Structure 1
Amino acid sequence: MKVLIVSDSHGLEQELLAIKERHQQEVHAMIHCGDSELSSDSNEMANFLSVRGNCDYDKHYINDRLEQIGELRFLVTHGHLYNVKMSLMNLHYKADETEADVVCFGHSHVAGAEMIDGTLFINPGSILLPRMRKEPTYAILETNGNNIVVHFYEVNGTVMQSMSQTFGR
């Protein structure tokens, strides 16, 4: 199973469409972690499981969502309501409360993945304004037997091998 994860596109349309078109046939789900700054019914956001970021004003976006995708339970949020720029502690508590296997979030624009107490936290970075690196990024999670592999990509689709990580389930 594969899941595309993107966040913090901040109004980008062509880039978001290109990412979606590049991967939509190979992934089982597509997640947008907020701050799209696009209408929830726009063509760019079609088929994304999306949430509201602090820069999203469309009232149809929700703050958090729980999704069962394959064998994994995903908690999707932007992160601003959990103070993720300071710590993942509040988001970790929410993950425990919801029994999430994977947490997808954005807000900080810092790409990364880490396992905390058996829960995988993924921030795909930003496809417009990355922080802590120059390349705009998004991610694809892939289950592979007893492992979960997270690959990060540049907006043009180039895999960032040095950022790829494998986690045990």
Structure 2
Amino acid sequence: MKYLVVSDNHGDRQILLDLVERYKEKMDYFFHCGDSELDSHDKLWDTFIVVRGNCDYGGDFLERQTISTQQDIVYITHGHLSNVRFGLTQLSIEAKESNATISLFGHTHQIGCEVVDEILYLNPGSISQPRGPIQIPSYAVIDSTPDAFDVQYYNRAHHPVEELHFSFPKLTRE
């Protein structure tokens, strides 16, 4: 399964349109981790699974979602309600309660990717306002197979960022 993950575009609708146009036939799922600052009835949400960020006012976005795909259980939240600025402890509790194999979040505008206790935690960074040591507007593509997670980050020009490519073997859950 292939998943595109983006977050924190803060009103830049065009970049989301570009992603849909570029990847519509190549991805199984499109995830948006919040702070789109777009209307909750925007036609883009016909393509993206989206959650509410702390800058998404009004509308009827969900705070969290758990999505079962053919390959994974994906837990998605913006992260502000999970205190991700202070670590992944609360997020990991929520992901485990959802029986997730992947936990997606945004909020910090910082790229992050790691596997802990057989769960892939991924922050795609911000497509429009990156923060932290990696100053690249970014999104991520996860290729999930029965044996591994393969993660590639891309810049706003849709070029792979070679040093931001990660592969994690999957362990068999008992």
Opposite residue 33 of structure 2, the aligned amino acid is C
Consecutive aligned runs of 4 or more in structure 1 exceeding 4 Å deviation = none
Q: Flag structure 2 segments of 5+ consecutive residues without an equivalent.
A: none
- Counterpart for residue 14 of structure 1: 14
d(CA) in 1 for partners of 2:69 and 2:157?
Answer: 26
Q: Give the alignment of 1:90-169 within 5 angstroms.
A: 90-132=90-132, 133-169=134-170
Relative to the length of structure 1, the TM-score reads 0.96
Relative to the length of structure 2, the TM-score reads 0.94
Deviation by residue 1:87-142 (Cα, 9 ceiling, x = unmatched): 10000011111110000000000012100111100000001110122210000100
Opposite residue 156 of structure 1, the aligned amino acid is A
Alpha-carbon distance, 1:145 to partner: 4.5
How many residue pairs were aligned?
169
Q: Give the alignment of 1:2-81 within 5 angstroms.
A: 2-81=2-81
d(CA) in 2 for partners of 1:116 and 1:106?
Answer: 18
Alpha-carbon distance, 1:21 to partner: 1.0
Opposite residue 150 of structure 1, the aligned amino acid is V
- Counterpart for residue 85 of structure 1: 85
Opposite residue 56 of structure 1, the aligned amino acid is D
d(CA) in 2 for partners of 1:128 and 1:80?
Answer: 18
Opposite residue 148 of structure 2, the aligned amino acid is N
1:2·1:27 contact (CA, 8 Å) conserved in 2? Answer: yes
SS of residue in 1 equivalent to 2:122? strand
2:10·2:35 contact (CA, 8 Å) conserved in 1? Answer: yes
SS of residue in 2 equivalent to 1:99? coil
Q: CA RMSD in A?
A: 1.0
Opposite residue 136 of structure 1, the aligned amino acid is P
